[in-house]
Amino acid sequence: MRKKIVVRYRDKRLLKGSSTDFVPTREAFHLSSADGSAAEPMEVRLSEVKAVFFVKELNGNRAYQERKHFDPAHPTVGRKIGVVFKDGELLVGTTEDYEPGCTAFFVTPADPQSNNERCFVVSNAVEKVSLF
């Protein structure tokens, strides 16, 4: 199944496209560019990545301000987590697979209106993790 993906690199590069071979335990996956600029899918090495965002729409809505808190009217699944990346970005959501010392983990955003469905966070791009 083809997944819509936004790749954010630690060096601030950003790539949008789709992938059919993302597996969280592998060191790399392939990304077909959204704009069709590359004839062949490019290899994305997780060692260079800050996070992989599985999105509803590749373009999203730049004006939308994602909520960084939980709505008490909506029950959550998993542990509540706050992730501060080394570049200062804050991601708030829930996780089912975070363990201290892990190489990467998934986060589902706290805001159900977020364009991000899930985020695959690479731990070496993280400054701080808070569980609450």
pLDDT tens string 43-85: 999 999 999 999 999 998 989 999 999 988 888 999 999 999 9
> Does the predicted model carry a pTM greater than 0.85?
yes
CATH class, range 3-55? mainly beta
User: What's the 3-state SS for 57-109?
Assistant: CCCCCCCCCCCCCCCCCCCCCCEEEEEEECCCCEEEEEECCCCCCCCEEEEEE
Tokens of 95: 């996780």
Q: 76, 94 in Cβ contact below 8 A?
A: yes
Residue 17 burial by Cβ neighbours in a 10 Å radius (0-12, 13-18, 19+): buried
Say if 3-55 and 79-131 have the same CATH topology.
Answer: yes
pLDDT of residue 107: 98
What gap in Å lies between CA 60 and CA 111, rounded to an integer?
14
Residue 3 phi/psi, 5° resolution? -110, 135
Options 2.30.30.100, 3.30.200.20, 3.60.21.10, 2.120.10.90; CATH for 79-131 is 2.30.30.100
The domain segmentation of the chain, as residue ranges, is 3-55, 79-131
